[in-house]
Chain A
Amino acid sequence: MQPRTLYDKIVDRHKIRALDDRDGPGSQLLLYVDRTVLNEYTSPQAFTGLRDAGRDVWRPEAALGVVDHVNSTAPDRGGAVEDANAQRQIDYFAENGRDFGIEMFDVLDPRQGIEHVVLPELGWVLPGLVIAAGDSHTATYGAFGTVGFGIGTSDIEHLLATQTLTYTRLKTMRATVVGDLPVGVTAKDLVMALIRGIGADGAAGHALEFVGEAIDTLDVEARMTICNMSVECGARVALMAPDDKVFDYIAGRPRAPSAEMLARARPVWQALASDAEAVFDREVVLDAGEIAPMVSWGTSPDQSGAIDGAVPDPASLPEDRRRDAVRALAYMGLEPGVRFEEIAIDRAFIGSCTNARLADLRDAAAILRGRRVAPGVRAMVSPGSSSVRRAAEAEGLDRVFIEAGFEWRQSGCSMCLAMNDDVLAPGERCASSTNRNFEGRQGSGGRTHLMSPAMVAAAAVAGRLADVRSLASREM
């Protein structure tokens, strides 16, 4: 048999039939989808479509719903929200769960959280699966050797009705990450450096597989950060071959297969890797050892630089990036040549499906221990899930955040996209552990600087963008 990439192996395994007479990238096929997760804002019209057509859900147990986008993250939140439209979404979501037999976690469920944090911690994301869901960051599951990808509402409806998608096979791209990340440099910095290097559309149309010693060394949560944010360089799917760390992560979780079943699955999962001779449509190599803590300066995730640098002069950029850079700097209220470390912030936010897992909170807390948020900075942390929140509290991280001056909030997508009441005011500047610095993303007129959770903590303490390596020296 011809050598194949991991992506093609998983797609082949889920191919019910071809839908055209082509082969390879661009060919259409009927793809079986193992599982999906639903949220309250991209699913309602899909259920209305099913109702209007009188259709059932093909396999209700293959779907799980969780309220995450519009809910409050107030520490004392109840089940209801003030925004009547958001409340209607929450209510309709619950109604759809009841009527179609789909399990739903409501706002007060102890398992509630951001969908891409909840699924892995339940042990529901397993190697070799296809998981499609109505959220672009479904690519997160690539850390488990799962083909995860985002779909729109029409495709959610198609998936619920048929357990399949009419699917166009992607091209493949491999990112080889050699070397080791330096001390103080994280998975977030690695993926931001990649995005900067190849551009916001650098992996468009591709399934992006990560390999290399720097990836092997990372724990599963850090790998999720990388796969999650690969979406911001256009990758529809990100993938990493699963290893013992992944198998150990899954074992014993609430929805994981039984020990007996895990033993049967393991040899199948261990074979999930690209063949040595497999040919990728594109290759890129990254040296982890050369990466420094990153911050974004613009309104596209590829507009970023190392913290010890400065806002670039658009004239120094490649011609096709200049006009967008000029516009971005105007929006961000920044002048060329300003050192990143001189940029003062108003807000600091730690949260999102990119960077709000327990390891992320530990990283940030390590910087905050014994320090205070700078005067005038409002700082918030929204744990990735209610389970993460409890686990963090069990080890006292909540005290560290609170004593440093952070608000210790409940879980949700929160100010990553500001669909709830966690919003930047126009002109406010935020150091944020999230994934998108688009215009208005965190609030109309709000200005977002993307960075790792530890870098957000450092910025909160300094009151301006700051190099975590200078603050962290005494812990290291």
Chain B
Amino acid sequence: MQKFLSVTGMAAPMPAANVDTDVIMPKVFLKGIDRAGLARGLFHDLRFDAKGRTRPDFILNRETMRDVRFLLTGPNFGCGSSREHAGWGTLQYGIRALIGTTFAGIFADNAANNGLLLISLGEDDRDRLFRAAGPDGAELTVDLVERTVTCGGLRLAFEIEPSRRQALMEGRDRIATTLQMKEQIREFEAAYFAEAPWLARGGAA
């Protein structure tokens, strides 16, 4: 997992509400057994028409967005299917953080597990940032150490859950961290199955 400290780059506004993971990563890109090749699928049906031609009006197809690093998103971004391919494809496209108000739960967990930073702003700050970036987007800097978003003369502070921030800054292996607690898990399990024998092996009919 790539560490996130401070990143500067272009931000593309995508203000629609309830952008779902079917739109972020259409089903034809879900047929792999590895994580590779998903940048091509990101927002595929918005980037390309049915004949595979580029849709010039879509924000990510503009020349200025060639090296896009951020999306400015509408509420409930990432709703729907649990497909982690949506998060993988976003990162593979080069996007490092999404800045909006709310994100759907599974999408947010997936993002955290892969080092994609999600920033939830209050609606007033979100509006100020969208105004600062304008409809064509703008360059901005996200600093996770300082917890700030800077766009031109606008500087916004954001909150993030401390353990998520730490994990993003360190690029940590979560499974290794949990396995350090394996004795506790075993002790829990022993007591748990003693109290609920219908769940233990042999409890089934």
Contact = CB atoms under 8 A, between A and B. Distances in A.
Contacts of A234: 76, 79, 104-105
B53 interface: no
Given A30-B178, A257-B203, A324 B20 contact: no
A34 B192 CA distance: 10
Contacts of A441: 22
B33 A258 contact: no
Contacts of A161: 175, 178-179
Interface residues of B, number: 56
Interface residues of A, number: 83
Contacts of B45: 439-440, 444
B170 interface: no
Given A158-B174, A262-B198, A32 B113 contact: no
Contacts of B9: none
Interface stretch (A147-155, A239-247, A354-362, A373-381): A147-155
Given A32-B189, A163-B185, A444 B50 contact: yes
A236 interface: yes
Contact of B81 (A136, A254, A324): A136
Contacts of A419: 27, 30-31
B54 to A, nearest CB: 16
A200 B196 CA distance: 37
B65 interface: no
Contacts, number: 196
A42 B83 contact: yes
A88 B169 CA distance: 36
Interface string B82-101: 11100100000000000000
Contacts of B14: none
A45 interface: yes
A83 B32 CA distance: 12
CB-CB nearest 9 A-B residue pairs: A85-B31, A154-B113, A152-B110, A201-B76, A152-B84, A44-B33, A261-B198, A257-B198, A150-B82
Interface of B: 15-18, 20, 22-23, 26-27, 30-35, 45, 50, 75-76, 79-84, 87, 102, 104-106, 109-110, 113-114, 161-163, 174-175, 178-179, 181-182, 184-185, 188-189, 192, 196-199, 201, 203-205
Given A88-B33, A166-B174, 19 more contacts: A16-B184, A26-B161, A28-B161, A32-B192, A134-B82, A153-B110, A161-B179, A162-B178, A164-B185, A168-B161, A201-B17, A201-B75, A236-B105, A257-B198, A257-B199, A257-B205, A438-B80, A440-B27, A444-B26
